[in-house]
């Protein structure tokens, strides 16, 4: 083993990721090479130093209060689950409405203060979509899979040339309604799985333009360009398919929304 080969393994060895054979060979090299030995020694002591300093407890660990907060949270979940079969009903949103209203008004206030800023973009485009998505919780009955939904699915096929799947991964289509968001007529479909809800909006590209400014990130999934808005309150994915804008929305950030493909174009 030469010096370069020995140094290439430096961090693997410090992180205890190197194979036994490698460790053996490096050891043999270090026995003969003073330079490499010095470098290994210094790197090892830097590593030990940093780790020991990092592991020193922080000055204000409030573990007891944190633990009681966590236990109270668990109690709440236990209660929810034991109060008679409610767990079979999707519980779409985790924040009480009042928190949401407060959050929305804070954003609106900030929006007024920073007119023309990124927050303004958020207020203009994202809050209406977010609110339409949140509104699902109070109107869940109107999203039930019924004749209206059948008619809407047929409309989606005909008017939007978009064929929606009834099942997307673990998610099942609950139903849909027509509504106007930001002055644009949209069809709003709702999917659920356990306690999670995903909204799918279909809008005509002639009336709705995907916002590309503000907190929008362009990402690519299976060669498709997606416009991703990910904020603390909700996540929205915009996509243009033919003459249709497909918008998916959720408030659960742990869902892989970019991988949620509600349907396909029938063009």
Partner 1 sequence: MTNGKAIELEKRKAFEQEALPHMEALLRTALRMTKNQNDAEDLVQETYIKAYRFWDKFEPGSNCRAWLFKIMTNIFINNYRSKSRSPMSVNVDEIDDSFLYGQLATSPGADNPEQELFAKIFDDDVKKAIEELPEDFRIVVVLSFLEGFSYQEIADITDLQLGTVKSRLHRGRKLLQKELYDYAVRNGYIKDKTL
Q: What does the binding site for partner 1 look like in residue numbers (CB under 8 A)? A: 7, 10-11, 15, 17, 38-39, 42-43, 45-47, 49-51, 53-58, 60-63, 66-67, 69-70, 73-74, 77-78, 81-82, 195, 215, 230-232, 235, 253-254
Q: Report the residue number, 219 or 266, with the smaller CB distance to partner 1.
A: 219
Q: Please spell the DSSP secondary structure of the chain, one letter per residue.
A: --HHHHHHTHHHHHTT-S-HHHHHHHHHHHHH-HHHHHHHHHHHHHHHHHHHHHHSPPS---HHHHHHHHHHHHHHHHHHHHSSSGGGS----SS-HHHHHHHHHHHHHHHHHTTTSHHHHIIIIIHHHHHHHHHTTTTGGGGSSSHHHHHHHHHHHHHH-EEE-SEETTEEEEEEEEEEETTEEEEEEEEEETTEEEEEEEEETTT-----SSSEEEEEETTEEEEEEE-SS-EEEEEEETTEEEEEEES-TTS-GGG---EEE--
Q: Shortest approach of partner 1 to residue 46 CB, angstroms?
A: 6
Q: Shortest approach of partner 1 to residue 217 CB, angstroms?
A: 11
Q: Report the residue number, 175 or 233, with the smaller CB distance to partner 1.
A: 233
Q: Report the residue number, 77 or 266, with the smaller CB distance to partner 1.
A: 77
Q: Report the residue number, 62 or 183, with the smaller CB distance to partner 1.
A: 62
Q: Shortest approach of partner 1 to residue 156 CB, angstroms?
A: 29
Q: Shortest approach of partner 1 to residue 122 CB, angstroms?
A: 10
Q: Shortest approach of partner 1 to residue 228 CB, angstroms?
A: 11
Q: Report the residue number, 40 or 162, with the smaller CB distance to partner 1.
A: 40
């Amino acid at each position: 083993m030469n010096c370069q080969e020995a140094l290439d393994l430096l961090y693997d060895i410090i992180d205890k990721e190197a194979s036994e054979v490698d460790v053996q060979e490096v050891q043999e090299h270090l026995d003969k090479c003073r330079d490499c030995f010095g470098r290994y020694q210094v790197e090892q002591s830097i590593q030990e130093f940093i780790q020991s300093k990092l592991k020193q407890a922080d000055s204000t660990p409030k573990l007891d209060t944190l633990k009681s907060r966590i236990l109270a949270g668990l109690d709440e979940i236990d209660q929810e689950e034991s109060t008679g079969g409610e767990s079979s009903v999707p519980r779409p949103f985790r924040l009480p409405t009042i928190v949401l209203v407060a959050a929305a008004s804070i954003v609106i206030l900030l929006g007024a203060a920073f007119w023309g800023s990124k927050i303004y973009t958020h207020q203009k485009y994202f809050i209406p979509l977010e609110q339409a998505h949140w509104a699902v919780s109070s109107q869940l009955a109107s999203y039930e899979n019924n004749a209206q939904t059948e008619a809407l699915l047929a409309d989606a096929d005909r008017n939007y040339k978009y064929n929606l799947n009834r099942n997307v991964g673990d998610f099942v289509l609950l139903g849909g309604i027509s509504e106007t968001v930001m002055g644009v007529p949209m069809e709003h479909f709702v999917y659920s799985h356990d306690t999670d809800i995903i909204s799918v909006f279909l809008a005509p590209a002639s009336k709705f333009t995907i916002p590309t400014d503000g907190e929008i990130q362009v990402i690519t999934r299976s060669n498709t360009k997606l416009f991703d808005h990910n904020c603390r309150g909700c996540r929205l994915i915009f996509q243009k398919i033919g003459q249709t804008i497909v918008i998916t929305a959720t408030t659960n950030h742990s869902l892989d929304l970019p991988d949620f493909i509600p349907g396909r174009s029938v063009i």
